[in-house]
């Protein structure tokens, strides 16, 4: 099993850096390009939500405004774990998005994440949000 783990500062440029990290790991696999594209969207949505919402307010020290991405390749599957000590938020408990509502604000990223992955789980351990997603390919 190939694994990479990296801590990122919770700033916008970290979203693309996380994608690059995972793509470097996927480059040595037989993961199809269309699946890699899906994985990229999922990473972008999750990391953008962390950067945009997890550290709202002044209760977090600057050095705590960070997240970790752990990527593990198993046979024809990648498991991605995102962990951070920001505002507690379980995306699995978020209300379903009404895609027909043109006035809708938010929720589309969570909808995409849930529908583009094979498995998804959330837990909170010692103040750390941990979101784990899995995506397989043939």
The pLDDT score that the predictor gives to residue 106 is 61
CATH number of the domain enclosing 105: 3.30.565.10
pLDDT score, position 61: 86
Q: What is the CA radius of gyration of the chain?
A: 15
Spans in the chain with pLDDT lower than 70: 97-108
Q: What is the DSSP letter of 126?
A: T
Would you state the pLDDT for residue 63? 85
Q: Which domain holds residue 91?
A: 2-136
Indicate the number of domains in the chain.
Answer: 1
pLDDT of residue 21: 98
> What pTM, to 2 d.p., does this model score?
0.90
Question: Are the C-beta atoms of 10 and 67 separated by less than 8 Å?
Answer: yes
pLDDT of residue 105: 58
Question: What was the pLDDT predicted at 97?
Answer: 65
């Amino acid at each position: 099993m190939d694994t990479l783990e990296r801590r990122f500062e919770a700033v916008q440029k970290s979203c693309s850096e996380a994608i690059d990290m995972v793509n470097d790991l996927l480059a040595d696999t037989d993961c199809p390009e269309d699946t890699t594209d899906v994985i990229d969207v999922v990473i972008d949505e999750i990391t953008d939500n962390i950067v945009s919402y997890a550290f709202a307010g002044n209760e977090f020290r600057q050095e705590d405004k960070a997240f970790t991405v752990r990527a593990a390749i198993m046979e024809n599957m990648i498991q991605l774990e995102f962990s951070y000590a920001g505002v507690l938020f379980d995306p699995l408990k978020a209300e379903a998005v009404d895609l027909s509502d043109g006035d809708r604000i938010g929720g589309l990223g969570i909808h995409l994440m849930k529908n583009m992955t094979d498995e998804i789980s959330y837990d909170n351990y010692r103040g750390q949000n941990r979101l784990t997603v899995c995506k397989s390919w043939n």
